[in-house]
Amino acid sequence: MEKIRGFEIAKGFENKDIHLPKRKTKYSAGYDVEAAEDTIVPSFKLGMKPTLIKTGLKAYFPEDEYMMLTNRSSNPGKKGLVMANSVGIVDSDYYGNPDNDGHFMYAYYNFFEKDLEIKKGEVIGQAIFQKYLKVDKDESEGIRIGGFGSTNK
């Protein structure tokens, strides 16, 4: 069967009991993504960097698509979690990159007063696949040479 779109375990997480994302209902747009390990998300303080929550996953999909990483709707109110980048965009050429094999993570701030512990296997966000469009005379020819945050390098 030809691979078109899906999730795989990223290198380094092969024997860590990582679950591939699933949609919970027939009409869900998003695939629920779990934390790959226990992680503490500290209470927010000015100047701090967001906490990256590992998924242990990579995703493959056609080059005219992207994967959008979104927060769970209940996270801000129940846990104080807000995504640092509001929404994450993963490009198709991120898959299998030499820096981290395409391992995608969620970047969160915790706006509650107490540190928050995320347990391995807890759903931390959703992944949604979408097509994108290009403008007339688009001539982009750059090649990805790295992983997380490498677009302008």
Cα 135 off chain centre by: 26
**Measured between alpha carbons, how far is 79 from 146 in angstroms, rounded to an integer?**
32
Other CB atoms within 10 A of residue 17 CB: 10
Report whether pLDDT(28) > 80: yes
Domains along the sequence of the chain with CATH: 6-131 (2.70.40.10)
**pLDDT tens figures, 72-94:** 999 999 999 999 999 999 999 99
Q: What is the pLDDT of residue 96?
A: 94
Q: pLDDT by residue (tens digit) across 98-139?
A: 999 999 999 999 999 999 999 999 999 999 999 999 999 998
The per-residue pLDDT for 12 is 97
The reported pLDDT for the residue numbered 47 is: 92
Strand order in the sheet with 51-60: 6-9, 51-60, 104-110, 81-83
CA-to-CA distance for 28 and 21, rounded, in angstroms?
A: 12
> What is the pLDDT, as a whole number, of residue 141?
81
Place of tokens 């929404």: 87
Model confidence pLDDT, tens digit, residues 29-70? 999 999 999 999 999 999 999 999 999 999 999 999 999 999
Virtual torsion, Cα 102, 31, 80, 43, nearest 10 deg = -20
**Can you tell me the mean pLDDT for 142-149?**
66
Burial of 112-140, coded b for 16+ CB within 10 Å and e otherwise, reads eeeebebebeebbbbbebeeeeeeeeeee
What is the predicted pLDDT for the residue at 75?
96
